[in-house]
Amino acid sequence: MTQLHDLRLRLLVQQESERIADSQQADLDLSVVQARCLCWLALLAEAHEDQASDAERRGDTEQAMGWFADSMRLRDVIQVVSSIEIPLPGTLEDDEKDADDSSDPLAA
């Protein structure tokens, strides 16, 4: 069952990466990738919490604890991905231009 879950997750990630690549053919906007990742991670965490609740209702405490632990790990990953600072596309060019201007000793 775990292998099936892993394969399904890989397929979802592959499909989403293809959608991102297709929709962002010229320039890949990392902030869009980050936002989509956060959406998928939140959905996965919620699904794991639902599975934990179902297992708890069935009286399968061990399975419930496993699903709950997985959901907590996903919440940790959400925090890590959220903390990654990705510059917006327009701000990166402005920063490079400002750096070029400040490196010229003859600039006014």
Q: Could you write out the DSSP letters of every residue in 72-85? A: HHHHHHHHHHHH--
> CA–CA separation, 55 vs 42, rounded Å?
20
Residue with tokens 């991670």: 41
- Provide the domain limits for residue 62: 41-83
Reported confidence tier of residue 4, pLDDT bands at 50, 70, 90: confident
The answer on pLDDT for 28 being more than 60 is yes
- Give how many domains the chain has, as a whole number: 1
Task: Write the DSSP symbol of residue 55.
Answer: H
- Look up the pTM and report it: 0.59
72 assigned to some structural domain: yes
Q: How confident is the model at residue 69, as a pLDDT?
A: 94
8 assigned to some structural domain: no
71 assigned to some structural domain: yes
> pLDDT digit string (tens) for 32-90?
788 888 888 999 999 999 999 999 999 999 999 999 999 999 999 888 888 888 776 66
Q: How confident is the model at residue 64, as a pLDDT?
A: 94
Residue with tokens 């297709």: 22
Specify the DSSP element, H or E, that contains 95: helix 89-103
95 assigned to some structural domain: no
46 assigned to some structural domain: yes
